[in-house]
Amino acid sequence: MTTQYLFFSGKGGVGKTSMACTHAVRMAEEGQKTLIVTTDPASNLADVFEQEIGHRVTQITSLPNLWAMEIDSDQATQEYIDRAMDPIRAAFPPQMVEVMEEQMSGPCTAEVAAFDRFTDFLDTPDEPSLAFDVVIFDTAPTGHTIRLLELPAEWSQSIDEASAGSGQTCLGPAAAIQDSKFKYERALAAMRDSKQTTFIFVLHPEQISINETRRAIKELSKLEIDSYRLIINGIIPPEGAKNPLFAARAEMQAHYLSQITTNFSYPTDRMTLLPGEIKGVERLRQVAKIFFDGMPAKTITHIQPKTAINVQEITPLDQIRARISPNGHHRTVFFAGKGGVGKTIASCITAVWLARQGNKTLLLTTDPAAHIGDVLDSPVSDEIRPVNGLPNLWAVKIDPKAAAETYKKRILDDARLRGRPEKAILVMEEELNSPCTEEMAAFDKFIEYASEGEWESVIFDTAPTGHTLRLLELPVEWSKQIDIKVFSSVDATAADDVAKQRFSKVIEMMRDPEKSTFAFVMYPEATPIIEAWRAAEELSTVGINPGLVVANMVIPQEQVDTDFTQARRAMQEKYLLEIAERFQLPLAQIPLLPSEIKGLDMLSDLGEQIFQDESPRA
């Protein structure tokens, strides 16, 4: 028997979990022994199937042929570290072991550990009873992850050198990587076999979603993975388009549906936007009839909404303004959130509003595509430049790859000036090739800009993660361990006094609610809320607490004039209240608009609507 593997991929909020679960239910009902596995740290498989699942293979109670597992990233990471470090602990001094374990706490290790766990399902099980006809992965690995897993093959010489030297690579001890090499090779072979594996990209008919899908396919194609399908999700149905707002959005979608047809040659399916949530096996069966059998979406049963709850004024506007305004001193606002939820939109609206209030404002992004330029309708480069048409606003993009090259050169030059031996330099250079370096280097570049002191407001699109900030703290924590720096992470190796002062000063600023605000952007839907909550919890481990939450694409109350919009708005209101109750923070709301948000005029209007001008000076 040859197991079929389906990988569902897509940015947060496009519905990949719903589509993955719909496929799993249909295949199980057709008699195929099916397993659905997720590596999403904010997994909501349990919510969708309405039963506990967790970090173990669990049978779905009402479907005899369906099993599920939610890989717990923390648990998988600890299992991976323990397996890698057990032989090391017996052979090396405790101080060195501590440094090596700390290095493995980074985002690369967590990413690889999750993949390591689900490569077990890409391998031939020892027991035939454990074999599945179909294995569905919700949240496919990126090309970045797969490249990390190729390192044992591509870097065999480096690993041999590491074994003779520090014994450490960016994925952990070389010996442990060698042990996993053959398992990864079998897994990658299965992923490259188009007869066995298909990558299914779920996307919305919107420009950002199209761009991300194109980028992901390009990245995976470099790795000889070439079996793709598309599911265009969230298409507004005829009954939804009876409302003026949704009719305008349906017209916008038609443009992008045509663009997808023209630009992508892969098999493509379409799925309509439903009026309510997709939860429970019975609901998934109905969705499967729509998706696979062509049943009209309007025949689907849904719970009638209760009396509308007034969530329009959950938070007084002065509380929201207090979290973004400089108030007489410098303030940095970091917008965080998964790709696709609208953090770039939120960043641009906020930056434009602050500039119009007379604050000298810098807008930064680490998005290589510099999407802020599209939203501002003004070019953005890797040099700070004024935004055409709006005094007080400047913008710049930070290219992580270019920043990483500069960052690596500075660290290696510093090490040579300090007289480090060439062997140590080579080990440092190897560690600097870790993809983690790009994230840290981009933040290092941000520090350079933010430390200039001339800005009253700095708006940062794509906030650093807790992982990044923990790595930046390492020079402070390990400053006394000079003798074993060669075995530690690149940041510890580069822990000169200047770097420590720069990093510690900025991190302290980020911890001060009077000087900085972390704002989490999300849709009023279950998965983005869970993802934002988890990210906020991670930041709290480095002493940084969020100060603002932003709900995007909220249906305006005045547009609730059909059964379809009433059902959608009722679902959103439930989650708006959950956001307010869960985070206990000021909640700003960005309305759903008839078209994409683009240009200073639209951004200015939205800023006035969301924040309201106090005393516009520009």
Q: What are 267-302's pLDDT values in tens digits?
A: 999 999 998 888 889 999 999 999 999 888 766 655
Quickly state the pLDDT bin for 368 (edges 50, 70, 90): low
Query: Which position among 15, 342, 547, 607 bears the catalytic label?
Result: 15
Q: What domains, with CATH codes, occur in the chain?
A: 4-79+112-152+184-299 (3.40.50.300), 317-610 (3.40.50.300)
Is it the case that residue 493 has pLDDT exceeding 70?
no
Sheet with strand 457-461: strands edge to edge: 385-386, 393-397, 361-365, 457-461, 331-336, 516-522, 548-554, 587-591
Q: What is the pLDDT of residue 134?
A: 94
Is it the case that residue 438 has pLDDT exceeding 70?
yes
Quickly state the pLDDT bin for 149 (edges 50, 70, 90): low
Is it the case that residue 505 has pLDDT exceeding 90?
no
Mean of the pLDDT values across residues 3-24? 89
* Residue 595 main-chain phi, psi, to 5 deg: -140, 175
Query: Which position among 3, 11, 33, 40 bears the catalytic label?
Result: 40
538 CB-side CA count, 13 A = 24
Is it the case that residue 18 has pLDDT exceeding 50?
yes
Is it the case that residue 504 has pLDDT exceeding 70?
yes
3-state SS assignment for residue 93? coil
Provide the pairing of β-strand 172-173 with 168-169: antiparallel
Is it the case that residue 158 has pLDDT exceeding 50?
no
Q: What is the pLDDT of residue 508?
A: 84
Quickly state the pLDDT bin for 82 (edges 50, 70, 90): confident
Which residues, including other chains, have CB under 8 Å from residue 566's CB and lie 6 or more apart? 305, 308, 560
Q: What is the pLDDT of residue 369?
A: 59
Is it the case that residue 311 has pLDDT exceeding 80?
no
Query: Which position among 11, 16, 397, 485 bears the catalytic label?
Result: 16
Query: Which position among 9, 10, 12, 13 bears the catalytic label?
Result: 13
Is it the case that residue 519 has pLDDT exceeding 90?
yes
Q: Is residue 527 flagged as an active site residue?
A: yes
Q: What is the pLDDT of residue 163?
A: 43
Q: What is the pLDDT of residue 521?
A: 93
Quickly state the pLDDT bin for 361 (edges 50, 70, 90): very high
Is it the case that residue 411 has pLDDT exceeding 80?
no
Query: Which position among 17, 34, 73, 488 bears the catalytic label?
Result: 17
Strand intervals (E) in 437-496:
457-461
pLDDT tens digits for range 97-109: 776 676 666 656 7
**Of 509 and 199, more confident:** 199
CB-count burial class (<10 Å; 0-12, 13-18, 19+) for 537: exposed
Which residues, including other chains, have CB under 8 Å from residue 179's CB and lie 6 or more apart? none
Q: What is the pLDDT of residue 434?
A: 64
Q: Which of 261, 292, 282, 286 is nearest to 274 (CA)?
A: 286
Is it the case that residue 256 has pLDDT exceeding 90?
yes
Quickly state the pLDDT bin for 170 (edges 50, 70, 90): very low
Q: Which of 42-56, 221-235, 424-438, 593-607 has the lowest mean pLDDT?
A: 424-438
**Of 73 and 224, more confident:** 224
Which residues, including other chains, have CB under 8 Å from residue 386's CB and lie 6 or more apart? 393, 394
Residues 69 and 46: their CA atoms lie apart, in Å, by 9
Is it the case that residue 548 has pLDDT exceeding 90?
yes
Residues 392 and 399: their CA atoms lie apart, in Å, by 23
Residues 482 and 490: their CA atoms lie apart, in Å, by 13
Asked whether 555 and 562 are in contact (CB, 8 A), the reply is: no
pLDDT tens digits for range 32-43: 999 999 877 666
**Of 478 and 88, more confident:** 88
Highest-confidence range of 86-95, 376-385, 399-408, 583-592, by mean pLDDT? 583-592
Q: Is residue 16 flagged as an active site residue?
A: yes
Residues 46 and 40: their CA atoms lie apart, in Å, by 12
Query: Which position among 3, 9, 18, 361 bears the catalytic label?
Result: 18
Residues 169 and 268: their CA atoms lie apart, in Å, by 41
Residues 501 and 268: their CA atoms lie apart, in Å, by 53
Q: What is the pLDDT of residue 105?
A: 64
CB count in 10 Å sphere of residue 278: 17
Mean of the pLDDT values across residues 461-482? 53
The DSSP-derived string for 257-320 is HHHHHHH--S-EEEEEPPSS---SHHHHHHHHHHHHH---GGGS--PPP-SPP--TTSS-HHHH
Q: What is the DSSP letter of 613?
A: -
Residues 182 and 119: their CA atoms lie apart, in Å, by 11
Is it the case that residue 342 has pLDDT exceeding 90?
no
Quickly state the pLDDT bin for 591 (edges 50, 70, 90): very high
Q: Is residue 17 flagged as an active site residue?
A: yes
Q: Which of 83, 151, 234 is nearest to 431 (CA)?
A: 151
Asked whether 414 and 494 are in contact (CB, 8 A), the reply is: yes
Q: Which of 210, 224, 223, 45 is nearest to 137 (CA)?
A: 45
Q: What is the pLDDT of residue 47?
A: 83
Provide the pairing of β-strand 58-59 with 66-70: antiparallel
User: What proportions of the chain, in percent to the nearest 5, are helix, strand and coil?
Assistant: 50, 15, 35
Is it the case that residue 169 has pLDDT exceeding 80?
no
Residues 550 and 342: their CA atoms lie apart, in Å, by 9
CB count in 10 Å sphere of residue 97: 16
Asked whether 205 and 12 are in contact (CB, 8 A), the reply is: no
Query: Which position among 139, 527, 565, 604 bears the catalytic label?
Result: 527
Q: Is residue 301 flagged as an active site residue?
A: no
Q: Is residue 15 flagged as an active site residue?
A: yes
Residues 36 and 40: their CA atoms lie apart, in Å, by 12
Q: Which of 82, 121, 119, 73 is nearest to 100 (CA)?
A: 82
Q: What is the pLDDT of residue 153?
A: 40
Is it the case that residue 167 has pLDDT exceeding 60?
no
